[in-house]
Amino acid sequence: MGKRTMQIDVIGSVEGTGFMKCKLYADGRVCVFYMTESNYKALMYDKIFIRDGQTVDSAGVINTTNTFIEEDL
């Protein structure tokens, strides 16, 4: 089996809920999940997300992480 990969895209806030809609890409599988806006802001502060979170790209994504690649053990 090859090295596994993972990336998270933030799609946007869910109006009136305090949650952010996100997509987790794991080895090509896409899973939608939600995180609190406070957790999102904390992860932005920690530089986990690589954009400023202000601009939507052509894929409808406002923020993303780098692609993480599993290390050899």
Which structural domain, as residue segments, surrounds residue 49? 5-67
**What is the model's pLDDT at position 72?**
77
Average confidence (pLDDT) over 65-70: 96
pLDDT digits (tens, 9 = 90+) for 9-48: 999 999 999 999 999 999 999 999 999 999 999 999 999 9
Point out which residues pair with 7 in neighbouring strands. 25
The model's confidence at residue 1, banded by pLDDT at 50, 70 and 90, is low
Specify if 47 maps to a domain: yes
**What is the model's pLDDT at position 2?**
82
> Which class for 8: exposed (0-12), middle (13-18), buried (19 or more C-beta within 10 A)?
buried
Total domains present in the chain: 1
Specify if 40 maps to a domain: yes
Specify if 73 maps to a domain: no
User: What pTM does this model have?
Assistant: 0.90
Specify if 72 maps to a domain: no
